[in-house]
Amino acid sequence: MSDNHRFVDVLTLRDGKTVEDARAYFDRACPVIEKHGVKRINFIAIDGKLRGHEEVNPSIVQTWEFPEDNPFPAIQADPDYQQLIPLRDSVFDMEHLQGWFGTEREAR
């Protein structure tokens, strides 16, 4: 995708949920998300913390690539995605979801 638009999301698993529960959710969600032009670049399971705010303890960090400024309203409105929201909310602590939009630039 030529514009290099990116979204980074930071997810925290609910108590009792595992990275495998998250993978099972994304196995179902990614095909729906991809039909909106969004491609997942990476999925990082967090193993430990070097430093950071005490109350921020993510479980998963992902990077997504997309051609438009913000495809997520269309994804949220997609009936196929709406069917997955109860599963998503059972796996992830959505109150603590964090996300950032950016544009990839050459590292120096």
How far apart, in whole angstroms, are the C-alpha atoms of residue 91 and residue 16?
A: 9
How far apart, in whole angstroms, are the C-alpha atoms of residue 89 and residue 66?
A: 24
Q: Tell me: the pLDDT tens digits for 65-77?
A: 998 778 999 999 9
* Both structure tokens of 83: 């069917």
Q: Tell me: the pLDDT tens digits for 84-99?
A: 999 999 999 999 999 9
Task: Delineate the domains of the chain, giving CATH numbers in brackets.
Answer: 5-103 (3.30.70.100)
The pLDDT > 70 percentage for the chain reads: 97
Model-level pTM? 0.89
How far apart, in whole angstroms, are the C-alpha atoms of residue 46 and residue 3?
A: 28
Angle at 85 between CA 46 and CA 10, to 5 degrees: 25
**107 pLDDT band (50/70/90 cuts)?**
confident
**3 pLDDT band (50/70/90 cuts)?**
low
pLDDT at 1: 40
Q: Tell me: the pLDDT tens digits for 32-57?
A: 999 999 999 999 999 998 988 887 88
Is the separation of the CB atoms in 59 and 49 below 8 Å? no
